[in-house]
């Protein structure tokens, strides 16, 4: 009976270790995903600001060319 209990305890320990390893690997796989998202948003915002600045600059130059 003691041998069977020992086997059950060993199997439970191995199952716990496998689940813990799976959780850790899942967490490691997701590292940096938030940072990547922030970088992509920053690039998008910079691109939008660049377009707005170019449009305003073109408008101002067109209007200043009319002044005489």
**Statement to judge: residues 49 and 21 lie in one domain:** no
SS (H, E, C) the chain: CHHHHHHHHHHHHHHHHHHHHHHHHHHHHCCCHHHHHHHHHHHHHHHHHHHHHHHHHHHHHHHHHCCC
pTM, rounded to two decimals: 0.51
**Statement to judge: residues 25 and 42 lie in one domain:** no
In this predicted model, what pLDDT tens digit does every residue of 10-35 receive, in sequence order?
877 777 877 776 666 555 556 666 78
Q: How far is residue 2 CA from its own chain's centroid? A: 50
Number of domains in the chain: 2
**Statement to judge: residues 20 and 36 lie in one domain:** no
More confident residue, 23 or 36: 36
Q: Is the pLDDT of residue 45 over 60?
A: yes
């Amino acid at each position: 009976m003691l041998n069977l209990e020992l086997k059950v305890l060993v199997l439970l320990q191995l199952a716990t270790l496998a689940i813990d390893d799976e959780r850790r690997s899942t967490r490691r796989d997701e590292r940096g995903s938030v940072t990547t998202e922030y970088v992509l948003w920053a690039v998008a915002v910079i691109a939008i600001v660049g377009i707005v600045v170019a449009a305003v600059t073109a408008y101002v130059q067109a209007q200043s060319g009319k002044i005489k």
